[in-house]
Structure 1
């Protein structure tokens, strides 16, 4: 029974980490057209859960060091003397790929949690008989 609870604890860390990752992906998509916005990335780190268990947690949020896109628009209020301004470095195709990967990982962790929960419930039902 303890192993099932351990599996649920590990899966819960994965669900939480992927939810946080999805949060930053949505922030990036929402700010794709914001001048000067830098894409946010979040690394995963190993989390010690005790009893020899390891889960995952999000690390410190980093800003993507890639160059900002130069946009030529002389009528824009932020345009400099050359008629250009710095856009964002968000690439929507990367964000879509990250969102899909995070969603699938989230669902896999949620499925693992649900299976462990069902198995624990079935074990308790057997003990009641």
Structure 2
């Protein structure tokens, strides 16, 4: 029974990790037009065994994308320097959409694994009751 419980824990950990990734993608998309905004990246770390089953995915602290933000030319903008440029964000919407789809599909896969483990646990308990 512990293997089934571990599989439920692993799936739930994957669900939390992908939800955090989707949250960062949403924040990136929402701030795509914010001057000086740096894209947030989600870092995944395996659990050590003390904080869950060994190998369970969990998120580490959010990282900022080191890519330089684009220079936008708009002399009328209040943040523009003497050359008429200001720093935009380094968010690429195509990358964010691809990341959102990947995170969504990973979330759905973890949800299916969770449901299958739950059904197997239910079946085992039904067999034990007989």
2:10–2:53 contact (8 Å) kept in structure 1: no
Change in Cα spacing, 1:52 to 1:10, as seen in structure 2 (3 Å) is closer
Change in Cα spacing, 1:61 to 1:52, as seen in structure 2 (3 Å) is closer
Give structure 2 stretches of 5+ with no counterpart. none
Which is richer in strand? 1
Residue-pair matches, total: 129
- Tell me the TM-score normalised to structure 2 length: 0.94
The two structures, once aligned, show a CA RMSD in angstroms of 1.4
2:46–2:54 contact (8 Å) kept in structure 1: no
Change in Cα spacing, 1:6 to 1:52, as seen in structure 2 (3 Å) is closer
In the TM superposition, structure 1's runs of 4+ consecutive aligned residues that sit over 6 Å from their partners are none
Residue 17 of structure 1 corresponds to which residue in structure 2? 17
* Residues 27-69 of structure 1, C-alpha deviations (whole Å, 9 max, x = no match): 0000000000000101100102359632011112111111111
